[in-house]
Amino acid sequence: MSSPDVVSLLENSKELDRVRKEQEEILSEINKLHKKLQTTPEVVEKPGDTSLARLKVLYTQAKDLSESEASISNLMLSQIDGILPTGPQGQTRRRIEGNEPKRKRVKTESDISRLTATMRHHLEACASLKGEQVAARVTPRNADKDEWFVVKVIHFDKESKEFEVLDEEPGDDEESSGQRQYKLPMGNIIAFPKSNDPSSAPDFPPGKHVLAVYPGTTALYKATVVQGPRRRKTEDYVLEFDDDEEDGSLPQRTVPFHKVVLLPEGHRQ
């Protein structure tokens, strides 16, 4: 038994633990959405609801994590086979342990065939955002609060399922040094409605929580629609932002319809 082999095995075991922990988080979000859809299936027919789109993203992430788990597990089995002595005991062990990865592999392949059409459509939609401005969460999943900015899509990698985006106006703080680039997963990106195609834009009713670009900035904040029903989809929204001003009041601002998106579930601010 060589120490480098054991060290490598332990490192892979830590990576497997990380993948499984992330799987649990994703599955928890999927279960919440499943419960929501089962309880109120009519919600998907409401204008502006993104439950199904969010579910697609979560399914894709869950599939990727499942593939990673199977890959790491198979690698660890090979490493263990290389460390343990050969013989009847090892052969029996390989036969027993080999069944579980096989079952997982069959399940994974079944999931892939079931999600291929949906994934392909979603990946094409992501690739079509190149050159567009989108809403992007630039903070990691475990951050204390979510920070969203308007960024420009530079590239979308269909293999890694990551966006490369550019923050064209990073701010004027001392730490800023020109434009910043980020690599972000699909779940961190929300496309804005097309300004020249209001028919495709969601219609948020009064009282609806949204994520909107604060006028004069490229930052997005949680806000509530306070305006009455709009006569046309091209009309601006009157929003009450949750970011308090110095006097403690909630600022109301007018925001164009194509700078407003549905507030992501679980948003922290």
Tell me the C-alpha distance between 14 and 29, whole Å: 23
The number of beta carbons lying within 10 Å of the beta carbon of residue 146 is 19
Q: pLDDT tens digits, residue range 157-173?
A: 988 889 999 998 765 55
The number of beta carbons lying within 10 Å of the beta carbon of residue 90 is 13
Cα–Cα distance list, 119 to 53, 72, 154, 191 (Å): 11, 23, 21, 17
Region 40-59: mean pLDDT is 80
Where does 56-126 show beta strands of DSSP type E? none
Structural domain contains residue 102: no
For residue 113, the model assigns a pLDDT of 47
For residues 177 and 59, the model is more confident at 59
- Are the CB atoms for 65 and 101 separated by under 8 Å? no
> Do both 138 and 170 map to the same domain?
yes
Containing structural domain, residue 166: 130-191
For residue 136, the model assigns a pLDDT of 92
Structural domain contains residue 12: yes
Q: In the chain, what are the helix, strand and coil shares in percent, each to the nearest 5?
A: 45, 20, 35
> Do both 10 and 72 map to the same domain?
yes
> Do both 206 and 184 map to the same domain?
no
User: How many domains are contained in the chain?
Assistant: 3
For residue 1, the model assigns a pLDDT of 44
- Are the CB atoms for 180 and 170 separated by under 8 Å? yes
- Are the CB atoms for 260 and 212 separated by under 8 Å? yes
For residues 133 and 201, the model is more confident at 133
Measured at the CA of 81, the angle between CA 79 and CA 82, to 5 degrees, comes to 65
Domain harbouring 205, CATH code: 2.30.30.140
> Do both 186 and 137 map to the same domain?
yes
Domain harbouring 146, CATH code: 2.30.30
Task: Examine the fold and report which residue of 170, 191, 212 is the final residue of a domain before the chain moves on.
Answer: 191
Which H or E run includes 88? helix 88-127
232's tokens: 């046309």
> Do both 158 and 135 map to the same domain?
yes
Tell me the C-alpha distance between 54 and 265, whole Å: 9
For residues 224 and 243, the model is more confident at 224
Structural domain contains residue 206: yes
> Do both 211 and 258 map to the same domain?
yes
For residue 106, the model assigns a pLDDT of 46
Residue 112: pLDDT band (50, 70, 90) is very low
> Do both 213 and 234 map to the same domain?
yes
Range with the largest mean pLDDT of 55-64, 93-102, 185-194: 185-194
Position 248 pLDDT exceeds 60: no
Structural domain contains residue 46: no
Task: Examine the fold and report which residue of 163, 191, 219 is the final residue of a domain before the chain moves on.
Answer: 191
Structural domain contains residue 207: yes
Residue 149 pairs in a beta bridge with 136, 219
Structural domain contains residue 204: yes
Q: pLDDT tens digits, residue range 72-101?
A: 877 777 777 777 765 544 444 444 444 555
DSSP classification of residue 171: -
Position 8 pLDDT exceeds 50: yes
Q: Percent of the chain scored above 70 by pLDDT?
A: 79
Structural domain contains residue 104: no
For residue 197, the model assigns a pLDDT of 84
Q: pLDDT tens digits, residue range 201-237?
A: 888 889 999 999 999 888 999 999 997 667 888 889 9
